[in-house]
Amino acid sequence: MQQNYKTAVEQRLMGYVDQLKSHPIVDPCRLNLVPHNVLALFAEAQLGDSNTWLGMLATAKGIITEPKLLEAVKANITCEAGLNGVPHPTLCAKFAAGLGVTQFRSNQKYFALQDYTIEASASVVVMDEGKLAGWLLAQESLVPVLFEVFRPAFAKIKGVDLTYLDEHIRVDADEHAKWMLDGVLALLEKSRTDHGSEWGETILKGVLYGIDLAGRVTLSVPDILYGMALRHYCGTAPWNGCPDVINRPAEQQAI
C-alpha cells in the first residue's frame, strides 16, 4: 500500500518538475536574455519569501503530529534559521544585494510574485495535516528545480553571490525533499493503519491538494517573469508580429 501512495505522490510531483524544466524561460535564462530588472524582481520575491518562510515553518510545526514529518520540519527550521551555519535570510539578502535589491515591497504596491507566495504561505494555518504535508513536500522538491532554471542568468551577472541559490539546490534536493517524502509516506501509512484504507485515501487527496497548491505557486514565478521578459522585447501586448527574440540563435541575439 505504501508503494501505491509513493507512486501517486511522486507522479504528481514529477508533473510540476517537468513543467519547470521545460518552461519557456529556461532558454532565455541560459542565453542571458532575461532583462536585469526582471531578474531583480525574482530576487525581491525571494527576499519576501525568505523573511516569511521561518514563520510558516513554525506554524507548521504546531500543526503536524506525525513524528517523521515533524522531524523533517524541525530540520528545515534548523537549516533556515542557520543554527548550524548562516541563516538563509542572510544568504538571500546577499544574493539580492548583488542585483541592487535591498528590500521587498509591502502590499501597498501590488507585486504578484511576492503577494501570491506570501498569501499561500499564510494559508497553512487553516490546512489540515495532509494538505500541509503535501505543501511542504512540494516546496522542498520544486524550489531547487526553480533555482536551477534561473541560476544560469544570475551566474552571468558580476558580483552576484549565488550561495543562497546553491544552498537550496544542494541541500533541499539532496536532504530536505527526501526527509519530507519519508514523513509524508509515514503519515499516509499511519492514517491507513489506524483508521482504514478509506481514511488513508482521504489523507492522500489532501497531500495531492497541497502539492498542487505549491506547484501552482512555484510555476507562477517563471510564468510572470517570462511575460515581463516578452514585454521587454516586444514593447506592448498583444505580441502578434513581435520579433521572436527568445528563439533566435544565440549569435543573433541583441541584448
36, 156 in Cβ contact below 8 A? no
Secondary structure of 150-212 in HEC code, one letter for each residue: HHHHHHCCCCCCCHHHHHHHHHHHHHHHHHHHHHHHHHHHHHHHHHCHHHHHHHHHHHHHHHH
| Nearest by Cα to 56 from 141, 115, 145, 120 | 120
- Predicted local distance difference test score (pLDDT) of residue 39: 94
Residue 47: per-residue pLDDT? 87
With cut-offs at 50, 70 and 90, classify the pLDDT of residue 243: very low
Q: Is the pLDDT of residue 10 over 60?
A: yes
Span 2-238 CATH architecture: Up-down Bundle (1.20)
* pLDDT for residue 114: 58
pLDDT in tens, 56-104: 899 999 999 999 999 999 999 999 999 988 999 999 999 999 999 887 6
Is the pLDDT confidence value at 15 over 90?
yes
Whether residue 170 is predicted with pLDDT greater than 90 in this model: the reply is no
What integer pLDDT is reported at residue 52 of this predicted model? 84
